[in-house]
Structure 1
Amino acid sequence: MEGWRKVRLGDVCKTNTDSYSPKEKWDYVNYLDTGNITNNRIDSIQYIDIKNDKLPSRARRKVKTNSIVYSTVRPNQRHFGIIKDHPENFLVSTGFTVIDTDEAVLNANYLYYLLSQPTLVESLHAIAEQSTSAYPSIKASDIEDLELEIPDITIQEKIVDILGCLDVKITNNIEINDNLLQQARALYQAWFVDYAPFNGVRPSDWIDDTIDGLAKEVICGKTPSTKVSEYYGNDVPFITIPDMHGNTYAVTTERYLSSYGAQSQPKKTLPRNSICVSCIGTAGLVTLTAQESQTNQQINSIIPKEGYSSYYIYLLMETLSVIINNLGQSGSTIVNLNKAQFGKIAVVIPSIEIMKSFDEIVSPMFESILLNQEENIKLAELRDSLLPRLMSGEFDISDIDI
């Protein structure tokens, strides 16, 4: 680690330097909340017309290219990223600490990789759990007070190039998947909203029903007791809401037993291509199961009836996300839509023949999406295994020409 030196982060970067003032009188704002970015991937940006809608009180922080946004609440949920481009009039939540580096000393991408290391994330989360606030949280000063070993700027840039090659491939796969999903959504719109293949008229044999009518069974998940160690570490993936954010398929490495034993009633295992819908907290997220899986109690899952298209139901559930969110409010600020309410939501059920024809077109799209997601997991695992070794100086890359 020759040439490396210890720095206090607050001495080589600045935090929360620029904020929006109502005196600037913007007509609109593009707003990023903390829950809408995870592991440097933005799910959505909210457009707010200030002339007609109230700007959220937390929509205040300004960012620039290479600003790092790092959620101060529950760091282990990994709501952080580095801003590369953004729309005009862009603000982020005050729930983020916005970090800008002195680029002559500390490469912003290098710092982002440092701050995303699991060991450092867990260290910040441990600080958060000692806070006296309502939720485990850190302050900007906690990030500023971090002392880190860094190499000279040339080595930082080489490390960024090595890790960046993997991230570029991951990003390309994500963009391909987004394009494939947009095509599937366009086909859904044409077939099941505009009735384009049917001369613009809904076929007479389609029926008005409910989600229960689509399902062989609707299952609300359950988290097994943490007091029984043998419930954990087995072969059945266990899906939670963080696994659903921004993913068509909920692919997770967390494993639980397929049944929980006599003292805790077992929940049925979901077959592949079941449709998971989040119904508590962050409601309206939709994913497919990549293999036999289970979920926690925040998710209602649809096992389709025999012959019914999982892909049709998946795309249908996406269109119902606002309805699901509104139904779950029930006068409370916390969304909580139970299985009975969920099952009674009105839907249209096309004929099995039409769903089969639709599947023949979109099935290859969804299969490609799953393959790309699985490749991204392997690429991320490779990147994350290299990350601590490169950041600690374990691998000498000074002579590598990149």
Structure 2
Amino acid sequence: MSSESHTCTVEELVASGILAPPLDGNHGAIHPKASDFVPSGIPFIMASDMHDGRVDTTNCAFISQKQASSLRKGFSKSGDVLLSHKATIGRTALVGDMGYPYLVLTPQVTYYRVLKPTLLNNRFLKYYFDSQPFQETLAAWAGSGSTRAYLGITAQRKLPITLPPISTQKAIAETVGALDDRIALLRETNATLEAIAQALFKSWFVDFDPVHAKQLGRIPEGAVQGSTSAAQGRMPLAALDEATAALFPDSFEESVLGLVPRGWRAAPIGDVVEIVGGGTPDTKEPSFWEPAEHCWTTPKDLSGIHSPILLSTDRKLSTKGLAKVSSGLLPTGTLLMSSRAPIGYLAIAQVPLAINQGYIAILPASELPPLFMLYWCRQNMDNIKGRANGSTFMEISKKAFRPIPAVVPNSKVIKAFVDVVGALFERLVENEKQAQTLATLRDTLLPRLISGQLRLPEAEAMLETV
């Protein structure tokens, strides 16, 4: 290879033995179906299992070892670079160390396997696939935006790849990878913070642990053991302090929901929260959208978020367009829940915004505040979805949502919960803001590094400022 970058095709890299022939999953009759899935076995990886450049087997489907052995292709192993090429176009992942002999891919995912790591760095290849020029090429060739967006293996072999010298590849992979590692750490921390908050909600408001403990004469548990410990996930729940424990009763009483803590009550959720819907101004009327002044959200804005917060929106309305949305501009702190296609995306708005008709929004002035309701909705999502209906797609209407029964604690307990979880949530928001800043920097640096417009020392200097 020359000392300068050069462009070749996937096919040429295969012919030179640098790449193995790229392969996707099995098509036709032998393609595993939902009825073939088993509780454990060999992971069956779809594009939806590829997150943040990694393969997530937490919620993936599995097929049996026997069925996997009967397949012809699509066996991916550690070190492979994955690329989605059907419907969901351009999602990537680097297969890391795993506790399985291999992964089986669906026909919508292709693996790229480096055979000569002295000439091609697999992490660089993954980042090259992530770069904007490549993504734009891939989308154009696949007909992105179409319901049938697809780029088969034969066409993928014609894709261009620009390769700098291997030393440069490694340096780019290391530089960009350092950003990815920082982003991953922030989001892992946020996942821990969310898990702690959900565990606290369940302890206080589902299992009623403090009440049961007081009933038995024990010291109630259910406190977060300090923000640092909480963020690291160490012993998140400890004994309640005396003042907080005093807020809980020591007995239960009957309600329409069964036994609830004495002094608490059962009520339709619509009686204790203020909810609104939204709308979409005429998209063919430019004056509703320009100048772009006010954030306006659709559930699509929540589809790729990593934490339950919305920092910005893809589209904005003009003041004239905002007037066409009956609920107007909702305040910061509003809880958003997608009510259709799909039901159940959740986020608390960090900016004032208007919403479209695909949401149920819960306003901050409610008796049960949005932070409480975030975890209530998660805890009760099966019930919420069970009340949905629709012929084209399932939808939970405001009318169907309002009657859902809820246990309503006394106001002092609610405030105590919001005080504790609010501190965790503030950290979560700051972590996600930092993660998005780093992701923006990564996406800015990547194409410039690959093209040679930006030298590595300059990139490293930029990294020192964040």
Is TM > 0.5 for Structure 1 vs Structure 2?
A: yes
The whole-number CA distance in structure 2 between the counterparts of 1:340 and 1:180 is 33
What is the 5 A alignment of 1:153-172? 153-172=166-185
How far does residue 130 in structure 1 lie from its aligned partner after superposition?
A: 7.5
- Quick one: which of 285, 288, 300 aligns to 2:345? 285
Match of 1:16 in 2: 23
Distance 1:252 1:123, change over 3 A: farther
Indicate the residue corresponding to 2:411 in structure 1: 352
Residue identity matched to 2:336: C
Counterpart of 1:128, as a letter, is A
Residue 113 of structure 1 aligns to a residue whose secondary structure is helix
For residues 175-324 of structure 1, what are the structure 2 equivalents within 5 Å?
175-199=188-212, 201=252, 202-222=260-280, 225-228=283-286, 231-232=289-290, 234-244=292-302, 245=304, 246-257=306-317, 259-261=319-321, 264-324=324-384
1:46-61 to 2 correspondences below 5 Å: 46=59, 48=61, 61=74
State the secondary structure of the residue aligned to 1:261: helix
Alignment-derived partner of residue 248 in structure 2:
none
Q: Which residues in structure 2 correspond to 1:324-363 (within 5 Å)?
A: 324-328=384-388, 330=390, 334-363=393-422
Deviations 1:197-231 (A, max 9, x none): 22265323333233323322232453651541551
CA 1:197/1:25 → structure 2, altered by over 3 Å: closer, same or farther?
Answer: closer
C-alpha separation in 2, matches of 1:262 and 1:360: 33
> Which whole-Å CA distance do the structure 2 matches of 1:94 and 1:352 have between them?
53
TM-score by length of 2: 0.73
Contact 2:9–2:158, Cα closer than 8 Å, also in 1: yes
- Which residue is 1:117 aligned to? 131
Q: % of aligned pairs identical?
A: 21
Task: Kindly provide the amino acid, as one letter, of the partner of residue 410 in structure 2.
Answer: S
Report the Cα distance in structure 2 between the residues aligned to 1:195 and 1:203, rounded to whole angstroms. Answer: 7
C-alpha distance in structure 1 between counterparts of 2:405 and 2:148, whole Å: 37
Instruction: State the distance in 1 between where 2:372 and 2:54 align.
Output: 26
Tell whether 2:444 aligns with 1:385. yes
| Aligned: 1:126 with 2:140 | yes
- Match among 59, 77, 89 for residue 64 of structure 1: 77
Map Cα deviations across residues 140-184 of structure 1 (whole Å, 9 max, x no partner): 333321112211211100001111111111111001111111111
Structure 1 residues 65-107: Cα deviation after superposition (integer angstroms, max 9, x where no partner): 232332223456x543222244537444322222223333321
The answer to whether the Cα contact below 8 Å between 2:77 and 2:103 also exists between their aligned partners in 1 is: no
RMSD: 3.6
Residue correspondence of structure 1 range 358-373 to structure 2 within 5 A: 358-373=417-432
8 Å contact kept, 2:338–2:360 = yes
Relative to structure 1, is the Cα distance of residues 130 and 313 closer, same or farther in structure 2, using a 3 angstrom cutoff?
Answer: closer
- Give how far 1:2 is off: 4.8
Work out the CA distance in 2 between the residues paired with 1:373 and 1:151. Answer: 33
Give the number of the structure whose alpha-carbon radius of gyration is greater.
2
C-alpha contact 1:278 1:285 (8 A) present in aligned 2: yes
Offset, 1:375: 0.8
Structure 1 counterpart of 2:301, one-letter code: D
Which residue does 1:142 correspond to in 2? Answer: 155
Offset of residue 267 of structure 1: 4.0
Q: 2: CA distance between counterparts of 1:61 and 1:335?
A: 33
Specify the code of the residue in structure 2 equivalent to 1:188: F
Residue aligning to 1:395: 454
Query: Which stretch of structure 1 is more off in the superposition, 348-357 or 294-303?
Result: 294-303
Name the structure, 1 or 2, with higher relative contact order (CA <8 Å, separation 6+). Answer: 1
Q: Equivalents in 1 of 2:154, 2:456: separation in Å?
A: 32
CA deviations 1:96-132 (Å, max 9, x no partner) are 222223333321211111111223223222222279x
Going from structure 1 to structure 2, the CA distance change for 1:349 and 1:43 (only over 3 Å counts) comes to: farther
Deviation digits for residues 210-255 of structure 1 (CA, Å, limit 9, x no counterpart): 3323322232453651541551563433334343243221223534
Contact 1:220 1:299 in 2 (8 A): yes
Work out whether residues 223 and 297 of structure 1, in 8 Å CA contact, stay in contact via their aligned partners in 2.
Answer: no
The question of whether the paired residues in 2 share the 8 Å contact of 1:275 and 1:310 is answered with yes
- Give the match for residue 257 of structure 2: none
